[in-house]
Amino acid sequence: MITKPKGTYDIYNEDAKYYQYINNVFESVASLYNYEYIRTPIFEDTSLFHRTVGETSDIVSKETYDFKDRGDRSITLRPEGTAGVVRSYIENKMYGEINQPKKLYYSGTMYRYERPQAGRYRELSQFGVEVLGSDSPLIDAEVISLAYRTLETILGDNVTVMINTLGDSESRNNYREALVKYLEPHLNELCSDCQNRFKTNPLRILDCKVDKENPILKNAPKITDYLNEASQKRFDQVLDYLRLLDVDYEVNPSIVRGLDYYNHVVFEFSLNEGVNATSIVGAGGRYNNLVESLGGPSTPAVGFACGIDRLMLILKEKKEIDINPNIDVYIMAVNEEERTKAILLAQDMRWSDIKCDYDTLDKGLKAQFKQADRLNARHLIILNSEDLAKGLITVKDNLTHEEQKIDEAEILDYIISNL
């Protein structure tokens, strides 16, 4: 037997309901906020991710799925959604469209070569948004609150936005200098990854999972003390809007995010209960330099991505959505004449928005009753040739247990008014 690749899983049965529920909530919230759907390829030119996510990020340095295709091109399975959206924005000249800013949402699978464990897979699903073409703190607040309201709908009152700012380049440079100076004498007390990060991207050390509780990092200088006036003001505005919109947030100066392209506001969505390595269910930030660095016109942008797999695990634990099967009508038929009637009736009902089903396994009546029970059918339609000859249909309402014969012509109306 061929089995699934390591770090992947199949979404079916109960999981499929959770997956669809989460996606449906997100898609309807995104649409209410006037975001448009975008779908980009699952694989891209390898260089795209090296230039966007960054050579020194965990993702590019050790997690990408890279391969040569049959035409000897270097291809990478997308590890995240932003790079493809930005590539598409530039390639399709969306910056030239009349409607600005461009507010886009996506949902789909991403690929990272990680050590698989609960809440961490090699094929993962994310939903997210990107807004390109606005530098306004209003948009920062909109993107954060869109994600927050989506997560609140899915998980209830169990999410906090951990938020920080990386400031503009002046603030960030001043901070980097101070951080390097502080860390230098302690270097050999940090993990080997951090010693490398020190050379390539020292801010990233604050994001280290190994050294997280290390007092050296806990006592490190904070970006919040190095912001220039403009950066501080901008950050305060975002926080003001978040309070106005009643979004629960906590300023956390150690949030720097693992990707190279962020500036100004960065944030993570963290569970209030059950905190562990996978309690971060989403993250994002502003990335004002990315479009230009990929060859597009200078365009400010902000976005977030949430991990659907982790949300599924949490929902499953809480069991708050109804995942039981249920249909409106189960149609029972045994002989050929009844079966022909059943498929016609089912077609009419389905196209009248009535969810229904019937036996296709040649089962007897008793087995069909059982199947109707398993599907939690609200109504049973019990076809028989004698009734049919008189133009009648027997219906049983499983809620009221009432059984009656109804004129064939009235059956759709009867079901519709009794759902």
Q: Point out which residues bind ligand ATP (CB under 6 A).
A: 80, 112, 114, 119-121, 124, 126, 258, 280-283, 305-307, 309-310
Which residue number, 133 or 282, has a Cβ lying nearer to ligand ATP? 282
Is beta strand 43-45 parallel, antiparallel or unpaired with respect to 65-68?
unpaired
- Closest approach, Cβ 107 to ligand ATP, in A, equals 12
- Closest approach, Cβ 372 to ligand ATP, in A, equals 38
Which residue number, 137 or 282, has a Cβ lying nearer to ligand ATP? 282
- Closest approach, Cβ 247 to ligand ATP, in A, equals 17
Cα–Cα separations (whole angstroms), residue 218 to 183, 207, 279, 398: 12, 11, 20, 62
- Please say whether the beta carbons of 385 and 298 come within 8 A: no
Report which residue type is found at 344: L
- Closest approach, Cβ 310 to ligand ATP, in A, equals 4
Is beta strand 329-332 parallel, antiparallel or unpaired with respect to 249-251?
unpaired
Return d(Cα 403, Cα 380) in angstroms, integer. Answer: 9
- Looking up tokens 């603030």 gives 171
DSSP label at 282? Answer: E
- Please say whether the beta carbons of 46 and 66 come within 8 A: yes
Return d(Cα 256, Cα 285) in angstroms, integer. Answer: 10
Q: In this chain, which residue has its C-beta nearest to ligand ATP? A: 307
Query: φ, ψ for residue 415 (rounded to 5)?
Result: -60, -45
Q: What is the DSSP string of 198-211?
A: HHH-GGGGGG-SSS
- Closest approach, Cβ 131 to ligand ATP, in A, equals 17
Query: φ, ψ for residue 149 (rounded to 5)?
Result: -65, -35
Which residue number, 306 or 332, has a Cβ lying nearer to ligand ATP? 306
Which residue number, 80 or 328, has a Cβ lying nearer to ligand ATP? 80
Which residue number, 84 or 227, has a Cβ lying nearer to ligand ATP? 84
Which residue number, 38 or 94, has a Cβ lying nearer to ligand ATP? 38
Distance of CA 252 to the CA centre of its chain: 23
Which residue number, 128 or 167, has a Cβ lying nearer to ligand ATP? 128
Task: Give the CA count within 13 Å in the CB-facing half-sphere of 152.
Answer: 14
- Closest approach, Cβ 162 to ligand ATP, in A, equals 11
- Closest approach, Cβ 172 to ligand ATP, in A, equals 19
